[in-house]
């Protein structure tokens, strides 16, 4: 269990770094995460789902061109679904859109587009087949349990801060709506 937690947070950190580099290159002044910490969970969960898919399929597929093509399609689909679900979850709970592909060609709604699905598939296949064995052996498996618990504690505090901040905004909005309602009632009684 700790291995999977470390895996998700490690790839979430790498995803955050990757997006930060891309944002810097394109001179976009944005933060890729909804959290204060340096992790973008959609990357961590995307690789996690791809690894589950790979571990199941590798038991029945022999390594050849067709199997790699199947992996690629599966990885592209899983990462795209992760991005789609993540975008909707963030919008549902926080009422924000961290990404919007509406102005991209071949988009499907705000949260996914064909061009990015192609890129996610390439990134996932590169990560799973070439980078993950190295990262697992030298980093992920060597994270001590107490460090994982500290990461979970920091993440939990970050999540609670996000929730409380979101609730505070909703309470302020409700107070403003209530104040307007009282003003309208007082104007109507005059």
- The model's pLDDT over 27-74, given as tens digits with 9 standing for 90+, comes to 877 777 888 889 999 999 999 999 999 999 999 999 899 999 999 999
Asked whether residue 10 carries a pLDDT value surpassing 90, the answer given is yes
pLDDT higher at 175 or 165? 165
The total of structural domains in the chain comes to: 2
Let me know whether 20 and 43 are in one domain.
Answer: yes
Mean pLDDT of all residues in the chain?
88
Same domain for 124 and 91?
Answer: yes
Is pLDDT at 17 greater than 90 in this prediction? yes
Three-class DSSP labels, 6-71: HHHHHHHHHHHHHHHHHHHHCCCCCCCCCCCCCCCHHHHHHHHHHHHHHHHHCCCCCCCHHHHHHH
Terminal-to-terminal C-alpha distance of the chain = 65
Single pTM value for the model: 0.84
At residue 190 the predicted structure's pLDDT band, cuts being 50, 70 and 90, is low
Angstrom CA distances, 150 to 64, 114, 167, 181, stand at 42, 38, 25, 46
Judgement on whether residues 84 and 137 belong to the same structural domain of the protein = yes
Tokens linked to 143: 């994270």
Question: In terms of domains, do 80 and 90 share one?
Answer: yes
Q: What residues make up the domain containing 175?
A: 144-190
CA distance 113 to 76: 11
End of a domain among 124, 143, 162? Answer: 143
Percentage of residues in the chain having pLDDT higher than 70: 90
Asked if residue 169 has pLDDT above 70, the reply is no
- Regarding whether 41 and 12 lie in a shared domain, the answer is yes
* CB-based burial label for 134 (10 Å; 0-12, 13-18, 19+): exposed
């Amino acid at each position: 269990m700790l291995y999977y937690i470390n895996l998700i947070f490690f790839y979430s950190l790498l995803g955050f770094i990757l997006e930060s580099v891309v944002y810097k290159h394109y001179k976009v002044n944005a933060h890729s995460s909804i959290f204060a910490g340096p992790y973008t969970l959609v990357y961590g969960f995307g690789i996690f789902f791809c690894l589950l898919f790979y571990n199941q399929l590798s038991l029945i597929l022999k390594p050849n061109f067709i199997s790699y093509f199947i992996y690629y399609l599966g990885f592209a689909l899983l990462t795209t679904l992760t991005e789609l679900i993540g975008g909707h979850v963030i919008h549902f709970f926080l009422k924000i859109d961290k990404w919007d592909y509406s102005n991209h060609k071949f988009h499907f709604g705000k949260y996914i587009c064909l061009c990015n699905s192609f890129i996610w598939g390439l990134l996932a296949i590169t990560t799973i087949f070439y980078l993950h064995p190295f990262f697992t052996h030298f980093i992920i498996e060597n994270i001590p349990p107490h460090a994982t618990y500290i990461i979970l504690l920091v993440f939990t505090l970050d999540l609670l801060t996000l929730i409380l901040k979101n609730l505070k905004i909703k309470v302020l909005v409700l107070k403003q709506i209530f104040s307007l309602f009282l003003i309208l009632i007082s104007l109507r009684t005059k």
